[in-house]
Structure 1
Amino acid sequence: MFRSLLLAALLMGVGPSYAQQTELTIGLIPSEDSRAMIAQSKPMMDKLSAALGMPVKPFVAADYNGVIEALRSKRLDVAYLGPFSYVLGTTQAPIEAFAVAETKKAGRTSYQSVIITNKDSGIKSVADLKGKTFAFVDPSSTSGHLFPKAGLIKAGFNPDKDFGRVIFSGSHDSSAIAVQNKKVDAAAVADRILDAAISKGIVKQEDIVIIWKSDPIPESPTVWRKDLPPDLKKRIQAAFLEVKDIPWSDQGTLNGFHPTNDAAYNIIRETAKILNLDLKTMK
């Protein structure tokens, strides 16, 4: 199949860059154990491989910055990034959002950040967080840092001064587990990842209390390097838009992908301004 695609590309005069593309590498953000993520992504990778006529391989970096750096250095062609890590990434690498996923469970292309506590913590509101230990996910995490921090500020809470101690756990699952095991008093996580952790038995719903929810956040985009050949981009987007009814990462069964673009994430840039964040200096 790939040979026929390659011949067609050459006959259409698309140039050597597409002809030299022998595989596609897709980066995933570390929302849970990397081996589990790779295993769960296999149906998706297989679908894309069949549509594109070339091997499609997943790659899970240690953190958000690892995915962005791999895109910048051209070790990745496509990546699944958090909304804020995408906006941050556009200041460091030539990348562009092109698709956004909708799952059957969510039925939407947005999600929310939630602040959770253990039922035994005695914490009932944002004000009760003063002096407590708190876990964010990653400095570049939209639902695990950016939006909850802005929400706390809007509620009159100073996250830089009012907590007793703050940690970055590295993943949403780790934060939820830390709350359940009473290693921290509270944490900020994505609602859909919390739901997945509960459904898998990683944490118990009866042990978790939600004390705050954010406004809707645009769902995590799938992005590509801008320097990929235009014809290959068209084929990649078409391949993504054809995929549906398979498990997708930690989000459940996929309804399908929808086209998106960079402008859809301006709300993230606006929230960064509220926090006085200089995206160009962040890493």
Structure 2
Amino acid sequence: MKDLPVVVVVPEPSSGARQSAARQEPSMHLQSLGRLLALVLPLLPLSAAGAEPLRVSAIPDESPTELLRKFEPLGKYLEAAVGRPVKFTPVTDYAATVEGLAAGKLDLVWYGGFTFVQARRRTGTAIPLVQREEDARFHSKIIVSAASKAQRLQDLKGATFAFGSVSSTSGHLMPRYFLLQNGLDPDKDFAKVAYSGAHDVTAKWVEAGKVDAGALNESIWQRLLDEKKIDPTKVRVLWTTPEFHDYSWTVRGDLDPKVVEQLRAAFLALDYANPEHRKILDLQRTKKFIPTAPGNYAAIEQAARAAGLLKD
């Protein structure tokens, strides 16, 4: 007798069973998607995975549009270096950058030497990462009208004079300190002292005859000449200060150490021979960044005390 084939009969699911399976299918898909994301997300760049942005600002020593123009290509470079979005936030005054860093609302700030001293005193932990090579031997310029009869600093007695911001290193603190060292007390020997708020504004005030003389940093003075934004037939340099340490890129002390080192390495890796890097460095008005440290700004703190801008 021949073996009969075995036939397995699978009963058709009832309508209730079909509905139950349909209800389970989306849940199974979600579980699979979750497992896939768990595998893929660690492989994505931090920015794509929703990392917190690196929050950056700068002391407002130039116009907001100029600060943003200078920072945009650097910001894109830093995004690639640290693998997270970079957000630039302009501020209205120098103190806002100090308070922003102290409150943990800013991560990286472009400071002048004096503002760094203030930030370090306020936080106790602010870290200056790098400075332009020029910032290790920086100067301020004291400018006058081209028609001025002044030939030396002492000739400015009785003049009207403009500084930049009160908190500016090269636009106020160091020029004031060196004027005092040369026997001129701005508050006693000038007919009037005004504060323009920014280096480029100071230059324009002197050019327009709003004040007889003014102090600004050498880098911005040169930019104004190069870009023909100041008329050299109307304004001239009367005196250049001795050198001092000035600007730095500074981070808050409790920033992730890995990010701190990524930032430091990114700045130091900028190479003027690389055309893309050259665009960034030209806007920063330097050919290279160099390491810096808190001790480089001890002389700035001493000058601030001597000039009466720090009381304790």
- Return closer, same or farther for 1:110/1:279 CA change in 2, 3 Å cut-off: farther
Q: Distance in 2 between matches of 1:127 and 1:175?
A: 20
User: Matches of 2:186 and 2:143 in 1, distance apart?
Assistant: 15
Aligned pairs (5 A) from 1:103-142: 109-142=136-169
Q: 1:163 corresponds to which letter in structure 2?
A: F
Helix, strand or coil at the partner of 2:279:
coil
Identify if the C-alpha distance between structure 1 residues 202 and 2 changes in structure 2 by more than 3 Å, giving closer, same or farther: farther
Give the corresponding residue for 2:77.
Answer: 47
Aligned with residue 299 of structure 2, among 254, 264, 267:
267
Q: Per the alignment, do residues 247 and 235 of structure 1 end up closer, same or farther by CA in structure 2, a change over 3 Å counting?
A: closer
Q: Which one has the bigger helix percentage?
A: 2
Distance 2:128 2:118 in 1: 12
Aligned counterparts, 1:228-243, within 5 A? 228-243=255-270
Aligned residues: 264
Q: TM-score, normalised by structure 2?
A: 0.78
Deviation at 1:33, TM superposition (A): 1.7
Work out whether residues 2 and 54 of structure 1, in 8 Å CA contact, stay in contact via their aligned partners in 2.
Answer: no
The reply on whether 1:257 has 2:259 as its aligned counterpart is no
Moved more, 270-279 or 149-158: 270-279
Residue identity opposite 1:25 in structure 2 = R
Match of 1:101 among 116, 126, 132: 132
Q: Per-residue deviation at 1:259? A: 1.3
Q: Which has the larger radius of gyration?
A: 2
- Deviations along 1:219-248, one digit per CA (max 9) or x if unpaired, are 301100001122221122112222342335
Letter in 2 for 1:69: E
Greater RCO, 1 or 2 (C-alpha within 8 Å, sep 6+) = 1
Q: 2:63 aligns with which of 10, 15, 33?
A: 33
SS of the residue corresponding to residue 46 of structure 1 reads helix
* Cα distance in 1 for residues equivalent to 2:42 and 2:188: 61
SS at match of 2:177: helix
Deviation at 1:36, TM superposition (A): 2.5
Bigger drift between 195-204 and 164-173 goes to 195-204
CA contact 1:196–1:250 (8 Å) conserved in 2: no
Aligned residue type for 2:303: T
User: Aligned in 2, Cα 1:98/1:56: closer, same or farther, shift over 3 Å?
Assistant: same
Change beyond 3 A, Cα 1:277–1:143: same
CA distance, structure 2, for counterparts of residue 176 and residue 250 of structure 1: 20
Given candidates 247, 251, 271, the residue that maps to 2:280 is 247
Relative to 1, partners in 2 of residues 1:256 and 1:124: Cα closer, same or farther, differing over 3 Å?
same
In the other structure, the counterpart of 1:226 is 253
Residue 211 of structure 1 pairs with residue 238 of structure 2:
yes
What amino acid is the match of 2:127? E
Change (3 A) 1:168 1:156: same
- Rounded to whole Å, the distance in 1 between the matches of 2:85 and 2:153 is 48
Using structure 1 for the length normalisation, give the TM-score. 0.86
Percent of residue pairs bearing the same amino acid type? 31
Give the Å deviation of 1:21.
5.0
Determine if the alignment matches structure 1 residue 79 to structure 2 residue 112: no
CA RMSD of aligned residues (A): 2.3
Checking the alignment, whether the CA contact within 8 Å between 2:164 and 2:195 is kept in structure 1 is yes
Amino acid at match of 2:108: V
Please report how far the alpha carbon of residue 6 of structure 1 lies from its aligned counterpart in structure 2 after TM superposition: 7.5
Query: Does residue 70 in structure 1 map to residue 100 in structure 2?
Result: yes
Q: 1:234 to 1:250 in 2, by over 3 A?
A: closer
Q: Deviations over 1:62-112 (max 9, x none)?
A: 12112111111222100000011111221123412111123xxx5x64220
| Equivalence map 1:163-178=2 (5 Å) | 163-178=190-205
Quote the Cα distance in structure 1 between the aligned partners of 2:41 and 2:202.
Answer: 43
Instruction: Determine the structure 1 residue equivalent to 2:220.
Output: 193
**Among 274, 278, 281, the residue aligned to 2:310:** 278
Task: Name whichever structure is richer in strand by fraction.
Answer: 1
Supply the AA of the counterpart residue of 1:62: T
Distance 2:117 2:87 in 1: 24
Which ranges in structure 2 are unaligned for 5 or more consecutive residues? 1-39, 272-277
Cα distance in 1 for partners of 2:209, 2:41 equals: 53
